[in-house]
């Protein structure tokens, strides 16, 4: 893991993972959802994740789960996607060799604005 206090490096990292840049006072705020995803009532089940704008294929939407000391921790992004046999995303373990493993939600195809973001309930290694 790399730690930096260089603001330019932090801004570049945020661009790669599609998060808004840090606030002008250099405070990094936690955003539970990417900027182009919202939670709303789902026709599939309960609530779901929906795109607010078009999202291209192979986009990493963010971290859905952490595994720490044998415990699974679900993030807000991981708590609201619904299952589909024809999913628009898949969950991928992005760092299987780290002490704290993470799963990310990655788009399989282009997703249109207003479309529900779905996956199968199976996490696949990278």
What are the residue boundaries of the structural domains of the chain, listed by start? 1-31, 32-125
**Residue 50: other Cβ atoms inside 10 A:** 19
Q: What is this structure's pTM? A: 0.70
54: Cα separation from own chain's centroid? 15
Give percent of the chain with pLDDT exceeding 70.
72
Contact assessment for residue 67 and residue 87, using Cβ atoms and an 8 Å cutoff: no
Low-confidence winner among 4-18, 20-34, 72-86, 93-107 (lowest mean pLDDT): 4-18
Q: What is the pLDDT of residue 37?
A: 93
H/E segment holding residue 9: helix 7-16
Homologous superfamily of domain range 32-125: SET domain (2.170.270.10)
Give the 3-state secondary structure of residue 123: strand
* Sign of the dihedral defined by the CA atoms of residues 29, 42, 58, 102, in that order: positive
């Amino acid at each position: 893991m790399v730690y930096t206090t260089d603001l330019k490096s932090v801004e570049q990292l945020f661009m790669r993972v599609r998060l808004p840049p840090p606030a002008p006072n250099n405070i990094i705020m936690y955003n539970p959802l990417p900027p182009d995803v919202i939670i709303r009532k789902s026709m599939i089940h309960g609530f779901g994740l929906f795109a607010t704008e078009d999202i291209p294929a192979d986009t990493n939407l963010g971290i859905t789960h952490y595994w720490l000391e044998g415990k699974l921790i679900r993030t807000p992004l991981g708590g609201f996607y619904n299952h589909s046999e024809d999913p628009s995303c898949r969950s991928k373990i992005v760092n299987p060799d780290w002490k704290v493993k993470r799963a990310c939600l990655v788009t399989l195809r282009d997703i249109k604005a207003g479309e529900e973001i779905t996956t199968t309930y199976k996490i696949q290694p990278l």
